Amino acid sequence: MGSFVLTNVRMFAGGLDMTGRSNQVKTETEVAEKDSTNFGSGGWGEVKGALVKSEWEAGGQWEAGGAGFVDDELFAALGGVGAWSMCPDGAAVGSLAWLTKAMTAKYQLGDAVGEIAPWSAEAKGSWPLARGLVAHPPGTARTATGNGTGQQLGAVAAGQYLYAAAHILSVAGTSTPTITLGIESAPDNTFAAPTSRISFAAATAVSGQILRTAGAITDTWFRPVWTISGTSPSFLFVVSFGVK
């Protein structure tokens, strides 16, 4: 991916798709530096890395009125910890994604008379910020059990984790439509004998989850899978995953 203009950023917090309601997003990670200079440092300052933190910021046009709207979702999430995913250039399968588990720390709305009602929010990371890929796109409705396209993330070394976030954006159907998502791995793209690596809790409403599992995992290919039940069920959801 070369240089580009930010026109198609996709950002998801829990079950909220911020795309059509946001016009600014930012994520950053920082390593605190601690001075370790001593008389053997040869006259040069020395530092060591200490605690690492990540922060997310977003803002845009305020909306309310039900599940999946900014006001309803972010106000309810305030002080809670959940799944956040950000895709800088679209959310097609294989697109770059950043994901983490973060606490919604700030929610703000309001401005001067005559202005379009704005909102802004901040989240503080509770897990490492993982760099990965979109495993399932937000615009493809699923109505039956199935699996997604395999992506080559690479092996998960000892000391690393496989991270995966699931954002359930909409739920339709009767008789309690339910979706249970998971992540499988395989040594190649045929997935002839896949291994289950992550299993999310069953979801019946707009919501989000993020899980991780420790390496070592020698498989290099990963894909999402889902089991759907209910009468006339239909789900829109996003899955992102990465290794850190």
What is the CB neighbour count within 10 angstroms for residue 36? Answer: 10
77 prior amide bond cis, ω within 30: no
Number of Cα atoms under 13 Å in the Cβ half of residue 233: 22
| Residue closest to 219 by CA, chosen among 241, 189, 239 | 189
75, 97, 130: which is the final residue of a domain?
130
Q: What are phi and psi of 66, to 5 degrees?
A: 155, -175
**Residue 155 located in a structural domain:** yes
What tokens were used for 117? Answer: 């009602």
Q: How far is CA 116 from the centre of its chain?
A: 28
78, 109, 130: which is the final residue of a domain? Answer: 130
Q: What is the mean pLDDT of residues 101-115?
A: 95
The amino acid occupying position 1 is: M
Q: How confident is the model at residue 3 (pLDDT cuts 50, 70, 90)?
A: confident
Nearest by Cα to 163 from 226, 217, 236, 105: 217
Q: Which residue range is the domain that position 211 belongs to?
A: 135-243
Q: How does 171-191 read in b/e, with b if 16+ C-beta sit within 10 Å?
A: bebeeebbbbbbbbbbeeeeb
Q: Is 39 part of any domain?
A: no
DSSP string, 52-66: EEEEEEEEEE---SS
Structural domain tally of the chain?
A: 2
Of 206, 205, 238, 204, the residue nearest 224 (C-alpha): 238
CA distances from 6 to 26, 133, 149 (A): 11, 18, 26
pLDDT band at 50 (very low <50, low <70, confident <90, very high): very high
Interval 84-103 mean pLDDT: 96
pLDDT, residue 4, reads: 87
The pTM of this model reads: 0.93
Q: Which of 63, 95, 130 is the last residue of a domain?
A: 130
Same domain, 17 and 120: yes
Please give the C-alpha separations between residue 165 and each of 16, 58, 237, 242, in angstroms, as whole numbers.
Answer: 13, 19, 10, 9
Q: Does one domain contain both 166 and 182?
A: yes
Closest CA to 222 of 167, 165, 155, 170: 155
Identity at 234, one-letter amino acid code: S
Instruction: Assess whether pLDDT exceeds 90 at residue 68.
Output: no
pLDDT tens per residue across span 116-136: 999 999 999 999 999 999 999
Alpha helices in the chain (DSSP H): 70-77
Q: How confident is the model at residue 47 (pLDDT cuts 50, 70, 90)?
A: very high
pLDDT digits (tens, 9 = 90+) for 156-200: 999 999 999 999 999 999 989 999 999 999 999 999 999 999 999
